[in-house]
Amino acid sequence: MQFVSNNILPIFIAVFSGIMLLWSLFGNRFRGIKEVNSAAALQLINHKNAIVLDVREPSEYDAGHVLNSRLIPLGKLKERMGELEKHKDQPIVVVCRSGNRSGTACFLLGKQGFAQVYNLAGGVQAWQKNNLPLEK
């Protein structure tokens, strides 16, 4: 017991770090966000006519984006949600650089009733790693 009381801060930091690690691995599942890898996203795009929504900033988008993707930066998604209403029944693959911002966007879209929303796991970085094309 003395050990615990003498080392409370390092113990707290270790426990907190473990919780953060678990959240980064499983947080999207807890929030009801469906993740797809690049191959599955490509299948949705090619066979299910999925919309690709890029939620990065314009400068990131201009540097390279998934072919035929639509840019709506995450910070403007709530105010521009109406642009996606006509696609409510279509699959939507949401993309960002690494998969974090797109996870937040998926959560927001899900709250608005979009049922077929998928987060591209690993984002554009994973897309590039799999040698899939980007448009500039």
pLDDT 10s digits, 33-45: 899 999 999 999 9
**SS3 of 26, please?**
helix
Alpha carbons 103 and 119: distance in angstroms, whole number? 6
- The confidence score (pLDDT) of residue 21 equals 66
Options 94, 96, 106, 109, the catalytic residue: 96
- Model confidence at 105, in pLDDT bands (50, 70, 90)? very high
- The confidence score (pLDDT) of residue 3 equals 77
Alpha helices in 1-136 (DSSP H): 2-6, 8-30, 38-47, 58-63, 77-80, 100-111, 123-129
Q: What is the pTM of this model?
A: 0.80
Question: 4 burial class (0-12, 13-18, 19+ CB within 10 angstroms)?
Answer: exposed
Alpha carbons 36 and 73: distance in angstroms, whole number? 20
Alpha carbons 98 and 52: distance in angstroms, whole number? 15
Q: Cβ neighbours of residue 39 under 8 Å, at least 6 residues apart?
A: 130
Is the pLDDT confidence value at 25 over 70?
no
User: The CATH number of 33-135 is which of 3.90.550.10, 3.30.1490.20, 3.40.250.10, 3.30.460.80?
Assistant: 3.40.250.10
Catalytic (active site) residue 96: yes
- The confidence score (pLDDT) of residue 20 equals 66
The string of pLDDT tens digits covering residues 52-75 is 999 999 999 999 999 999 999 999
- The confidence score (pLDDT) of residue 11 equals 78
Task: Sketch the domain layout of the chain as residue ranges.
Answer: 1-30, 33-135
